[in-house]
């Protein structure tokens, strides 16, 4: 049934030309990891620290849930299950890891769903944010890289994680000194997921020529990334509250300066430092440490730099 739906969408995609296809190919970009990180960073640094924290905590939780389910279900991508499925263009390059559930959909639910729930926005923008979630999810089906159940479960789980995080943040607001408890539980879970992904057996299915269909160790890479990001957020979140304590209640000029400096330095970290660390260490440890550095920079290091430089400039 799911493959038949994808085949019907593929026939439609091939028949209507490139207008709708190009649009949905751009929409899927909004669910990519780097897009999610940039949006969250800008909100966190320059718009609303509390909202940014909520988005990143929800996203971190979703990456952990997504990672553990991927390596548990070990569901093959649609084109591996059925050779008639031909993903559109280069969309296959961002379809990493196992198929179930959809990571792009969970990313979009975390970011745009979170903005719709928590953001102080007009109704029209809330509706737009919700529509983006639906379009990102549908784009994964339309482009042939995920089944409908991958997307549907991704939306449901993403929403449930957001609801849990909303309650957790309210609890932390009432018990500010116990944020370490939330972080400690999250760290234990993230480490447990990483160990689970490293030691569990993976399917070893071969094609007619004796070639391994899917390398489970390679598929688990997304799970290790999620664990590294989640650990970085939790550690950085607690450290920022104790050693930085920056505020987004600053003039517009300062907000814009933060955004420009932050994004430039973030890309320097992501495109220079992260690959060096990942390649230098290698394996799951290299993946986790490099991803840790990426998010730790966003959550703690850059905010800490802001408190020092902005304080000096004000003297």
Q: Is 141 a catalytic residue?
A: no
Closest CA to 263 of 69, 70, 45: 45
Annotated catalytic residue within 13, 49, 63, 104: 104
What pTM did the predictor assign? 0.93
118, 140, 146, 278: the active-site residue? 146
Contact 216, 203 (CB under 8 A): yes
Burial (0-12, 13-18, 19+ Cβ within 10 Å), 201: exposed
How many other C-beta atoms lie within 10 A of the C-beta of residue 86?
A: 13
Measured distance CA(37)–CA(232) in Å, rounded: 13
Angle made by CA atoms 300, 301, 307, in degrees to the nearest 5: 90
Q: Assess contact for 44 and 116: CB atoms under 8 A.
A: no
Q: Are 213 and 76 in contact (CB under 8 A)?
A: yes
3-state secondary structure of 212: strand
Verify whether residue 198 is a known catalytic residue. no
Helix segments in 16-122, DSSP class H: 19-29, 33-42, 49-73, 78-81, 103-108, 114-118
Each of the 315 residues of the chain gets a pLDDT tens digit; together they read 789 999 998 888 888 767 788 888 889 989 988 889 999 999 999 999 999 999 999 999 999 999 999 999 999 999 999 889 989 878 888 778 899 999 999 999 999 999 888 767 777 888 899 999 999 999 999 999 999 999 999 999 999 999 999 999 999 999 989 999 999 999 999 999 999 999 999 998 888 788 888 888 889 999 999 999 999 999 999 999 999 999 999 999 999 999 999 999 999 999 999 999 999 998 999 999 999 999 999 999 999 999 998 876 654
């Amino acid at each position: 049934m799911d493959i038949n739906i994808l085949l019907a969408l593929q026939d439609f995609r091939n028949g209507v030309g490139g207008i709708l296809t190009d649009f949905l190919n751009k929409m899927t970009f909004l669910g990519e990891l780097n897009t999610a990180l940039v949006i969250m960073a800008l909100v966190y640094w320059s718009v609303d620290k509390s909202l940014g924290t909520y988005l990143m905590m929800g996203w971190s939780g979703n990456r952990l849930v997504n990672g553990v389910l991927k390596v548990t279900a070990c569901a093959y991508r649609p084109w591996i299950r059925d050779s008639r499925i031909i993903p559109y263009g280069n969309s296959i390059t961002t379809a990493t890891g196992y198929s179930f559930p959809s990571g792009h959909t969970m990313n979009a639910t975390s970011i745009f769903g979170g903005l719709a729930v928590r953001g102080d926005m007009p109704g029209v923008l809330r509706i737009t944010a919700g529509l983006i979630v639906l379009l990102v999810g549908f784009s994964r089906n339309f482009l042939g890289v995920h089944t409908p159940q991958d997307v549907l479960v991704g939306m449901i789980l993403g929403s449930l994680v957001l609801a849990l995080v909303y309650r957790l943040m309210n609890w932390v607001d009432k018990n500010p000194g116990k944020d370490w408890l939330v972080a400690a539980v999250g760290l234990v879970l993230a480490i447990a997921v990483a160990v689970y992904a490293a030691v569990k057996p993976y399917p070893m299915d071969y094609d007619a020529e004796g070639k391994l269909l899917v390398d489970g160790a390679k598929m688990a890479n997304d799970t290790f990334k999620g664990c590294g990001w989640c650990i970085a957020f939790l550690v950085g979140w607690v450290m920022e509250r104790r050693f930085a304590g920056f505020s987004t209640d600053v003039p517009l000029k300062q907000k814009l300066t933060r955004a420009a400096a932050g994004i430039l330095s973030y890309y320097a970290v992501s495109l220079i430092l992260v690959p060096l660390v990942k390649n230098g260490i290698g394996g799951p440890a290299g993946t986790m440490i490099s991803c840790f550095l990426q998010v730790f920079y966003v959550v703690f290091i850059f905010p800490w730099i802001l408190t020092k430089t902005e304080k000096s400039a004000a003297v």
